[in-house]
Chain A
Amino acid sequence: MDELILKLKEQVIERLNLKDLKPGDIGDDQPLFVEGIGLDSIDALELIVLLQQEYNIKLSNAEDGPRVFHSIRTMADYITANSSAIKVSS
């Protein structure tokens, strides 16, 4: 999980071009949107693409976004949950 959390932080920084930030600057539970890092709706869409391209997980309902992308940890939890679901079914 720690590995995934670190990797996610690096990917978020790169994908969203947050040049001023390093992984250490983003708290695992820090809110990503509105307050905290201050991401917006376009960033949310970029994160949906990130999930698809890097983790093969499709978030088809944009309204789940706020819950899934609340923090790096909620993202990591979602990825873990959905990756195991795929493993179980295969």
Chain B
Amino acid sequence: MRDQIFVAGLGIITAIGNDLTTNLQSLCEEKTGIGEMVWLSSVHRGELPVGEVKYSNAELAVATGLPTQLSRTALLSAIAAREALVDAGWGKSNLFRTGFISANTVGGMDKTENFFKLFSKDKTAGKLADVVNHECGAVTELVADYLGIQHFVSTVSTACSSSANAIFTGARMIKAGLLDFALVGGADALTRFTLNGFNTLMILDKELCKPFDENRHGLNLGEGAAYLLLTSEKGLKQLNKKPYARISGYANANDAFHQTASSPEGTGSFLAMKGAMDKARLLPADIDYINLHGTGTQNNDIAEGTAIRLLFDPAYPKMSSTKAYTGHTLGASGAVEAVYSVLAIRHGLIFPNLRWQTAMKEFPFQPVTVCLKNQRVHHVLSNSFGFGGNCSSLIFSAA
């Protein structure tokens, strides 16, 4: 079939591993990465568990060859993006018509918030170097320049669905013949800005989160970066690579209910999931695994669960939220979970929903609680639902 879009390479760094192999190992060993705050300096240290990447900025700088004083978002992005290219066997000869579409929600805010400490008292104070790469797009360009990609570079920012949107934008561009290769995904580093922002919404769990559990108390924030190298059949031949999977479906819909809360009926979630299945020409019964958005907040899990019930009842696929491993990585989450979805297909695995104990009273289904091996995983649905009602679903299928 023409216009199929393949996943040729993967790269990832999260609280559960600094590369693809370690992430996969942690997933199989059911090892969470959420815990005490180490790198981020905040009054909430010791109070709010987070999913921090275990590398310091200095270690990220050494691993990438980039300057230590760059935004942590850029450093995380660079390490994962480079891994995806290397994993795919992509080289400089493939530079022409390669695009880089990355997502993030706060750009270089980790440096900006340090700048503002001084600037807010005196407008002539603060190091300009700390704000020169504040913008979301600036962080993307730092990494594009690092990788040598300049044919097409873009940044998507739609809160928690950002990198899912970046992924299907890349797929669209390849289908339209505008790109041969698309390096797509996202990154976000933990910042005081987001930590405190989410805290004002009173949706952070002071314990380790329990997505889709009746007794859940909110989410844990995380950080990380993940990228996929997408290409067409022609591109695969150029790389001489066997693909991991295909992107067979995708859709974005808007909940249009409230700025931060999801509608109780899960309208946006329903439309996104259904739209993705329609695009993939799949029926609910074809889905083997749902990687849930599953943040662990009261609101998301009910809305997402309601939409799942409407779509799948009475036969539910296996499902889990991997945010119990990594925390909610915001701008990176769509891509992190896309990578996990692809790994599920490649290795026949279904990852568990860690720390789950009690079924939500509203629903007749429950998530998987241990890592299942030797599974038939042909079609995976991955959800990412963000503020502003921005709901995206991706479907990955065996190639």
Direct A–B contact in the complex, CB atoms closer than 8 angstroms: yes
Which A residues are within 8 Å of any B CB, using their own CB? Answer: 40-42, 45, 48-49, 62
| Complex: chain A residue closest to B299, CB-CB | A41
Complexed CA–CA distance, A48 and B201 (Å)? 11
Chain A nearest CB: distance from B299 CB in Å?
Answer: 9
Determine if A45 and B201 form an interchain contact, defined as CB atoms under 8 angstroms apart. Answer: yes
Chain A nearest CB: distance from B167 CB in Å?
Answer: 30
Q: Is B261 an interface residue (CB 8 A)?
A: yes
Determine if A62 and B259 form an interchain contact, defined as CB atoms under 8 angstroms apart. Answer: no
Complexed CA–CA distance, A80 and B325 (Å)? 44
Write out the residue numbers on chain B whose beta carbons fall within 8 Å of the beta carbon of A45.
200-202
Determine if A49 and B200 form an interchain contact, defined as CB atoms under 8 angstroms apart. Answer: yes
Write out the residue numbers on chain B whose beta carbons fall within 8 Å of the beta carbon of A40.
258
Write out the residue numbers on chain B whose beta carbons fall within 8 Å of the beta carbon of A41.
258, 260-261
Determine if A62 and B202 form an interchain contact, defined as CB atoms under 8 angstroms apart. Answer: yes
Chain B nearest CB: distance from A34 CB in Å?
Answer: 13
Write out the residue numbers on chain A whose beta carbons fall within 8 Å of the beta carbon of B260.
41-42
Complexed CA–CA distance, A41 and B261 (Å)? 8
Complexed CA–CA distance, A17 and B232 (Å)? 52
Contact string against A for B residues 63-94, beta-carbon threshold 8 Å, 1 for contact and 0 otherwise:
00000000000000000000000000000000
Tally the A-B contacts, defined by beta carbons under 8 Å: 12
Q: Which positions 36-66 of chain B face chain A at CB distance < 8 Å?
A: none
Given A45-B200, A48-B202, 10 new contacts (CB under 8 A) = A40-B258, A41-B258, A41-B260, A41-B261, A42-B259, A42-B260, A45-B201, A45-B202, A49-B200, A62-B202
Complexed CA–CA distance, A51 and B202 (Å)? 15
12 examples of A-B residue contacts, CB within 8 angstroms: A40-B258, A41-B258, A41-B260, A41-B261, A42-B259, A42-B260, A45-B200, A45-B201, A45-B202, A48-B202, A49-B200, A62-B202
- Give chain B's interface secondary structure class: loop
| Complex: chain B residue closest to A41, CB-CB | B261
Contact string against A for B residues 257-270, beta-carbon threshold 8 Å, 1 for contact and 0 otherwise:
01111000000000
Write out the residue numbers on chain A whose beta carbons fall within 8 Å of the beta carbon of B261.
41
Write out the residue numbers on chain A whose beta carbons fall within 8 Å of the beta carbon of B201.
45
Write out the residue numbers on chain A whose beta carbons fall within 8 Å of the beta carbon of B202.
45, 48, 62
Most buried by A among B201, B202, B258, B259: B202
Write out the residue numbers on chain B whose beta carbons fall within 8 Å of the beta carbon of A48.
202
Complexed CA–CA distance, A64 and B300 (Å)? 20
Write out the residue numbers on chain B whose beta carbons fall within 8 Å of the beta carbon of A49.
200
Most buried by B among A40, A41, A49: A41
| Complex: chain B residue closest to A44, CB-CB | B202
Chain B nearest CB: distance from A67 CB in Å?
Answer: 16
Q: Which positions 211-259 of chain B face chain A at CB distance < 8 Å?
A: 258-259
| Complex: chain A residue closest to B218, CB-CB | A62
Chain A nearest CB: distance from B154 CB in Å?
Answer: 31
| Complex: chain A residue closest to B260, CB-CB | A42
| Complex: chain B residue closest to A46, CB-CB | B200
Complexed CA–CA distance, A48 and B260 (Å)? 17
Q: Which positions 137-181 of chain B face chain A at CB distance < 8 Å?
A: none
Complexed CA–CA distance, A40 and B261 (Å)? 10
Write out the residue numbers on chain A whose beta carbons fall within 8 Å of the beta carbon of B200.
45, 49
Contact string against A for B residues 193-213, beta-carbon threshold 8 Å, 1 for contact and 0 otherwise:
000000011100000000000
Write out the residue numbers on chain B whose beta carbons fall within 8 Å of the beta carbon of A42.
259-260
Write out the residue numbers on chain A whose beta carbons fall within 8 Å of the beta carbon of B259.
42
Complexed CA–CA distance, A75 and B200 (Å)? 20
Complexed CA–CA distance, A45 and B199 (Å)? 11
Complexed CA–CA distance, A48 and B202 (Å)? 10
Q: Considering the complex of A and B, which 7 residue pairs feature the smallest CB-CB distances, nearest first?
A: A62-B202, A41-B261, A45-B200, A45-B202, A45-B201, A40-B258, A42-B259
Chain B nearest CB: distance from A54 CB in Å?
Answer: 17
Chain B nearest CB: distance from A46 CB in Å?
Answer: 9
Chain B nearest CB: distance from A42 CB in Å?
Answer: 7
Complexed CA–CA distance, A45 and B260 (Å)? 12
Chain B nearest CB: distance from A52 CB in Å?
Answer: 11
Chain A nearest CB: distance from B366 CB in Å?
Answer: 24
